[in-house]
Structure 1
Amino acid sequence: MFVVPDPGRLRLRTGLRAVAGVGLAVLITALSGLPLPAVIVAGLAALLALFTVADPTVRRQAVTTALLPAVGLPVLALATWLHGAPLLRDAVFIAVVFCGVYARRWGPRGNALGIFGFMMFFATQFLHALPAQLPHLAAAVGTGLAGSSTVRLGMWCIERRTPPPTGPAPLTARGLARPTTRQAFQAAFACALALAVGRVVSDDRWYWAVGTAWWIFVNTASRGETLVRGFRRVVGTLAGIAVGLLVAVPLDGAPVPTAALVAACVFGIFYTAAPSYSWMMFFVTVMAGLLYGLLGVLHPGLLGLRLEQTLVGALAAGLAVALVLPVATHGTTDAWIRRALLAVRHCAAESARRLAGEAAADPAPHVAELEVLLGRVRVSLAPLLHPLSPLRARKDRARQVLALLDVCAEQARGLAAVAADPEASHDARLTTACRRVEAALHALLPTAGSVAVAADRVPEQHPGAEPALAHLRDLEGALSSLAAPLRGKTHGIFAEA
């Protein structure tokens, strides 16, 4: 895990910045004289702001962060006021779940606001907060966001130097087929089931089951993705509980070592979030145990109960994606692969135009889009590539498709680099090669329109065209090889053969 490539050391810097932001938020809140529960809420608010606010520009990040209290404080107040009315509280909690997931249709800002609202309701259950504590908790949200914003938007503004890549637009659909609408119903069902069963397991700590079900649905788009994420959450939680028994329980809330370990967990959460959900959950679980130690309620039985509630939440999420508006993995994968191939097509066409002398043609944006889309394809294929997947034939096809798509991306990058070279020249062989690439793409995407390639008045041969020809030949070969694994024995790429 800790040897996974970290280009530009972005994950390292993001993790260190998170420690600084959360640490400053906690310090400000503690120095303000607020009680320990408020300090924990401040740290949580800071962590959520740093973790969930993912707008592409610093200005939009600032706006989203400023909007967090507008969602979080009303939810926080409602949760505390309903503390003495369990049935109504539970109903409102499920409504918050539905609205929080539905808000994802408005992109990164909606996602951040939805998560923040859910976690404010969750935090009141974690702390068993009462209405009398509301002023302190509300003040803590403010100090927590102020501390994290001071670091993120001022002292350590990573995005000004290394802008994050823009994520791919979500797959489009309408009505109940829209991903956010479908997931809102699935998450509401899963959380309601987790709440009901979790209450049977423990009338005091049922919220862990709800939290598990909620977070499993974040950044998933199909049944397979959700099931794999649930499995990874259980694995990470189990490992975190084991370490909690060895570390958090003996510490018993000792302030200085607990604070140091919580800071290490915050770093671990941010450093491992992108490459490994299991590792991230390991650090979340260890941190939760340490916080329970600070609150004076930690004991081995509590950590065991945490595992039970995690299993309940994971099973509830699995049932939800199987029974409520299910979306098969292959359908989602087909769509993402199709978009990746379209990006290859546009990259080749723009490169050809650039080589033909069109100064305005630029394949670079399509190369960047292709990289992001390939990341989404990998996520979608994760269920088929999982070691426990019993579908060996489909697993082999998935590996083959990923390997060939990586070759396509490599050749597209090389072709774009050649096209950007002012010494590169176009000739008739390049036009012919581009047409062969177009034909290979049309065989994979017969319903997509063709992309015109300039072909008038070009020299027969030019030495500067050789590198581009090599990239186009390899790209054509990879695309031709994709035909067999993509088609299989059905029209769906990864439908059952």
Structure 2
Amino acid sequence: MRCRIRTNACDGREYGGVKAAGHSVRTRLQDRLAASDPGLLRLTAGLRTVGAVALTLAVLAALDFEVTRLVAGAMGALVATFSIREKQRSAQAVTLALGLPVALVSVSLGAVLGERVVIGDAFFVVLIFCAVYGRRFGERGTALGLIGFQLYFVSLFIGASPAELPLLWAVLAVAFACSAVVRFAVVPVTPTGLLARLRQAFRARLAQLVSAHLALLDAGPEEVDKALEDVRTGTARLHETALMIQTRLEEGTPDESTARLVQRRIADAEIAAERLGLLLLSARSAERADTLTLHLPGAPAPEVGRLPGPEEATAVLRRDLLALRTLVLRTGTPGTGVAHVRNQLLAYRDEENLPPATPAVRDVFRAVGEAARAVMGLRLALDGPQDESDDTPATARSREELDAEDAAIDVEEESERADRPRGLQRPTTRAAVQVSVGSTLAIVGGELLSADRWYWAVLTCWIVFINTASTGEILVKGYRRLLGTVFGVAAGIVLAGVVGGHTWTAFALVLVLVFAMFYTAPLSYTLMSFFVTAMLGLLYTLLHTYSWEVLVLRLEETALGAACGIVAAALVLPVHTDRRTNELLVTALERLAEVTEAAVGQLSGDPAVDLLDRARALDQALGDLRAATQPLTHPVTPLRARRATARYVVALLETCAYHARSLAATAELLPTHPSIAADPRLRTAAGRTVRNIGTITARVTDEDATAVVETGPSIASLLDASDGGARYGRITGRVLRHLERLDEAVVGLARPLDVPVVAPER
């Protein structure tokens, strides 16, 4: 069965472009938005917060409250909205209900103690300790701590007095009620709906990655570096979306079996897309491309030329990639034209249907067929049963394989209790002590700068400790907040001069800045700080306390608060970046060893184990490590050698994780595919790799360890040396490729980590 240009009577287009160009403008815009903001999380956060603030302002204005109360209500609605992050709506409602009394108590104490310097400051420090320590009790504890701290700050910001408390209580009650109305009625988000939007984002990003593959196919020598960088970015963004889906599967699916099925299909599609990119790059290179090239930012592209083989094969591959992108984007029941495209691509899974080409190009066509199979599996998992009337024998076989895999998915649970740190070693306790010490320094220094605005220093000190775990992370966050504040001060001065005494114009700009603040927060902490500072300039204008000296003081207090936070983090129970990254590196290596050993064991004939959860734990460990190394890889770091080493190590680990996930995906095919036989020789062949991972883990954990990483004959030669080589088919060859790449990556990982590498004597 050869590929050739076909014209579909229904669509009137070439088969490679079925509906690709027929998408409406609205659909294309939705796909772009879904890809840029997975799950529409940023858009939802911005709209929900702006809606809560706007509704609060409207209600308070209708009740004829003065401007100071409007400002307090706006800030109360903002806090009540952004503090609550729980996934289940019922849990959100409980936390919001508990948050109101916490807010009333906090603002009351702020008003009563605001004029009592020593007692008020001492209480503020205690409140800060309790708010941070509350993170130990999960999302509800974190939310209530945020509400308590922020509302105390609001009372200081507006200069609340005890006589004003009854009106202030009414304002906060309105703010929390409006926040609830917007959250549950105006901009509702259900776990099921959020998961559906994340799945749409996964499709959109998968389609973007296929588009990047197309660009890589056609890129000239001068364009290949940019094309490869786009493939890297697309691969990373697809993986990010897969992780976001994994964290919300339990809440967004009706049962655990469905959750595991979706997780499996998402993983299959991700692996298939990454493999397609790697094989395409290899086909254009003089030698087989290294998987590391897809994971190391800035790595130069290998020397490439035109795709080898006949021009017809290149033209067919181009059309097939366009067709694959169409399959990804199409949802619901496919039409006749799409069914034909699907059948054509799935046919590449059979050797006799591959077009005449070089072996490397034929590998790319095989990868297109496997990607089409993964897309069909994803469609079945997400959209339910499909029309089978147009199935070819190859498509029917792929569908039967998917059905068999779906039926074999187990729901066994595995519980394990990890040894958790206690006392001051517990992260929440340590952070609470650190931020309390830092806040004490910020209060003292802040009051020396200003007896009226000292709380800005405390706010900055508090914020730099949120979602940070090491001194380096706090340093980077403090730097970013200071940078955003510098530009925000300038913007605040300009905006305050523009709006002058126009109250509602200022409030309208505040709403715009609030939306921008929440929409950009996950993307750039510097941008968020910029919008926060600009908004505060407008709020000062509304309170008639604006002057450029106030905004400059805000900048000074921000710098002081960041410095106090960094000093506290460095001197009080410090967690140095090196220690933090080493701990997370050990965790990632342990998860890598678990996935590799379990997958190889199953491929060698051991009983089936839960590989999905192991792979998910590996992805989570890698995500934590990637975040922790940001201080080391930051562009302004003066330690260039360490930055290069950190990026290289993370890229190598991501390469290892890709091959381990691929091994796990192949291992899970065994119970449902009679044509795939377990190969007992793989356990012996992969033993060196697993031992080397353990050796590196031991050396990172204990510098005095003496174990060394071993190299030697290739994995393939170890397997060939075993008996019974003729009994095993192509699946063993695919496994070998992943094992060899994994073995090479693990040995490569030893060198930047200063682990000795030796070759055994013959």
Q: Please state which band the TM-score falls in when normalised by the shorter chain.
A: 0.7 to 0.9
Residue 53 of structure 1 contacts residue 65 of structure 1 at CA under 8 Å; is this kept in 2? yes
Structure 1 pair 427/23, CA: closer, same or farther in 2 (3 Å)? Answer: farther
Q: SS in structure 2 opposite 1:162?
A: helix
Are 2:463 and 1:212 aligned? no
Q: How does 1:330-349 map to 2 (within 5 A)?
A: 330-349=578-597
Deviations 1:227-251 (A, max 9, x none): 1111111001011112112223321
Match of 2:642 among 388, 394, 400: 394
Residue 428 of structure 1 contacts residue 458 of structure 1 at CA under 8 Å; is this kept in 2? no
Give the aligned residue type for 2:139. Answer: P
Q: Give the match for residue 89 of structure 2.
A: 58
Are 2:144 and 1:144 aligned? no
Residue 93 of structure 1 and its aligned partner are, at CA, apart by 0.8
Q: SS in structure 1 opposite 2:478?
A: helix
Q: Give the match for residue 440 of structure 1.
A: 692
Residue 590 of structure 2 contacts residue 694 of structure 2 at CA under 8 Å; is this kept in 1? no
Q: Give the match for residue 626 of structure 2.
A: 378
Q: SS in structure 2 opposite 1:161?
A: helix
Q: Give the match for residue 503 of structure 2.
A: 255
Residue 677 of structure 2 contacts residue 728 of structure 2 at CA under 8 Å; is this kept in 1? no
Structure 1 pair 207/426, CA: closer, same or farther in 2 (3 Å)? Answer: same
Q: How does 1:65-464 map to 2 (within 5 A)?
A: 65-154=96-185, 155-162=187-194, 166=247, 172-352=420-600, 361-421=609-669, 422-423=672-673, 426-428=678-680, 430-432=682-684, 434-446=686-698, 460-464=727-731
CA distance in 2: counterparts of 1:248 and 1:419, whole angstroms: 63
CA distance in 1: counterparts of 2:685 and 2:48, whole angstroms: 48
Structure 1 pair 77/488, CA: closer, same or farther in 2 (3 Å)? Answer: farther
Range that drifts further, 480-489 or 142-151: 480-489
Structure 1 pair 63/468, CA: closer, same or farther in 2 (3 Å)? Answer: farther
CA distance in 1: counterparts of 2:108 and 2:476, whole angstroms: 35
CA distance in 2: counterparts of 1:192 and 1:14, whole angstroms: 32
Range that drifts further, 77-86 or 198-207: 77-86
In angstroms, what is the RMSD of aligned CA positions? 3.1
Residue 191 of structure 1 contacts residue 210 of structure 1 at CA under 8 Å; is this kept in 2? yes
CA distance in 2: counterparts of 1:184 and 1:224, whole angstroms: 17
Residue 604 of structure 2 contacts residue 682 of structure 2 at CA under 8 Å; is this kept in 1? no
Structure 1 pair 412/40, CA: closer, same or farther in 2 (3 Å)? Answer: farther
Residue 443 of structure 1 and its aligned partner are, at CA, apart by 1.8
Q: Give the match for residue 222 of structure 2.
A: none
Deviations 1:11-61 (A, max 9, x none): 233333332333334333433444333333333233233323223433333
CA distance in 2: counterparts of 1:364 and 1:242, whole angstroms: 51
Residue 266 of structure 1 and its aligned partner are, at CA, apart by 1.8
Q: Give the match for residue 35 of structure 1.
A: 66
CA distance in 1: counterparts of 2:692 and 2:85, whole angstroms: 37
Q: Give the match for residue 483 of structure 1.
A: 750
CA distance in 1: counterparts of 2:418 and 2:166, whole angstroms: 39
CA distance in 2: counterparts of 1:329 and 1:253, whole angstroms: 48
Range that drifts further, 147-156 or 393-402: 147-156
Q: SS in structure 1 opposite 2:194?
A: coil
Residue 487 of structure 1 and its aligned partner are, at CA, apart by 4.2
Structure 1 pair 145/391, CA: closer, same or farther in 2 (3 Å)? Answer: same
Residue 419 of structure 1 and its aligned partner are, at CA, apart by 4.3
CA distance in 2: counterparts of 1:158 and 1:249, whole angstroms: 42
Can you give the 5+ residue segments of structure 2 that lack an aligned partner in the other structure? 1-32, 196-243, 249-416, 702-723, 757-762
Residue 299 of structure 1 and its aligned partner are, at CA, apart by 1.9
CA distance in 2: counterparts of 1:205 and 1:15, whole angstroms: 28
Give the aligned residue type for 2:557. Answer: Q
Higher relative contact order (CA 8 A, sep 6+): 1
Residue 415 of structure 1 contacts residue 471 of structure 1 at CA under 8 Å; is this kept in 2? yes
Residue 4 of structure 1 and its aligned partner are, at CA, apart by 9.9
CA distance in 2: counterparts of 1:67 and 1:379, whole angstroms: 32
CA distance in 2: counterparts of 1:76 and 1:187, whole angstroms: 21
CA distance in 2: counterparts of 1:97 and 1:334, whole angstroms: 30
Deviations 1:192-224 (A, max 9, x none): 111111111111111111111111111111111
Q: TM-score, normalised by structure 1?
A: 0.87
Residue 425 of structure 1 and its aligned partner are, at CA, apart by 5.2
Structure 1 pair 325/170, CA: closer, same or farther in 2 (3 Å)? Answer: farther
Residue 358 of structure 1 and its aligned partner are, at CA, apart by 8.2
For these two proteins, the number of residue pairs brought into alignment is: 479
Q: SS in structure 2 opposite 1:46?
A: helix
Residue 252 of structure 1 contacts residue 298 of structure 1 at CA under 8 Å; is this kept in 2? no
CA distance in 2: counterparts of 1:96 and 1:234, whole angstroms: 25
Structure 1 pair 466/258, CA: closer, same or farther in 2 (3 Å)? Answer: farther
Deviations 1:76-106 (A, max 9, x none): 1111111332221111111111111121222
Give the aligned residue type for 2:163. Answer: A
Structure 1 pair 325/430, CA: closer, same or farther in 2 (3 Å)? Answer: same
Deviations 1:295-318 (A, max 9, x none): 222221111111011111111112
Residue 128 of structure 1 and its aligned partner are, at CA, apart by 0.4
Residue 465 of structure 1 and its aligned partner are, at CA, apart by 4.4
Give the aligned residue type for 1:64. Answer: T
Residue 633 of structure 2 contacts residue 643 of structure 2 at CA under 8 Å; is this kept in 1? yes
CA distance in 1: counterparts of 2:472 and 2:691, whole angstroms: 33
CA distance in 2: counterparts of 1:247 and 1:478, whole angstroms: 54
Q: Give the match for residue 451 of structure 1.
A: none
Q: Looking at CA atoms only, which structure, 1 or 2, has the larger radius of gyration?
A: 2
CA distance in 1: counterparts of 2:179 and 2:685, whole angstroms: 53
Residue 659 of structure 2 contacts residue 739 of structure 2 at CA under 8 Å; is this kept in 1? yes
Structure 1 pair 246/346, CA: closer, same or farther in 2 (3 Å)? Answer: same
Residue 433 of structure 1 contacts residue 473 of structure 1 at CA under 8 Å; is this kept in 2? no
Residue 171 of structure 1 contacts residue 179 of structure 1 at CA under 8 Å; is this kept in 2? no
CA distance in 1: counterparts of 2:518 and 2:726, whole angstroms: 54
Identity over aligned pairs, percent: 39
Q: SS in structure 2 opposite 1:485?
A: coil
CA distance in 2: counterparts of 1:170 and 1:22, whole angstroms: 43
Structure 1 pair 144/433, CA: closer, same or farther in 2 (3 Å)? Answer: farther
Range that drifts further, 107-116 or 118-127: 107-116
Structure 1 pair 71/408, CA: closer, same or farther in 2 (3 Å)? Answer: farther
Deviations 1:127-154 (A, max 9, x none): 0011122222222323222222333334
Residue 249 of structure 1 contacts residue 299 of structure 1 at CA under 8 Å; is this kept in 2? no
Residue 439 of structure 1 and its aligned partner are, at CA, apart by 2.1
Residue 58 of structure 1 contacts residue 160 of structure 1 at CA under 8 Å; is this kept in 2? no
Residue 484 of structure 1 and its aligned partner are, at CA, apart by 2.3
Give the aligned residue type for 1:157. Answer: V
Can you give the 5+ residue segments of structure 1 that lack an aligned partner in the other structure? 449-456, 490-497
Q: TM-score, normalised by structure 2?
A: 0.58
Residue 48 of structure 1 contacts residue 116 of structure 1 at CA under 8 Å; is this kept in 2? yes
CA distance in 1: counterparts of 2:127 and 2:546, whole angstroms: 29
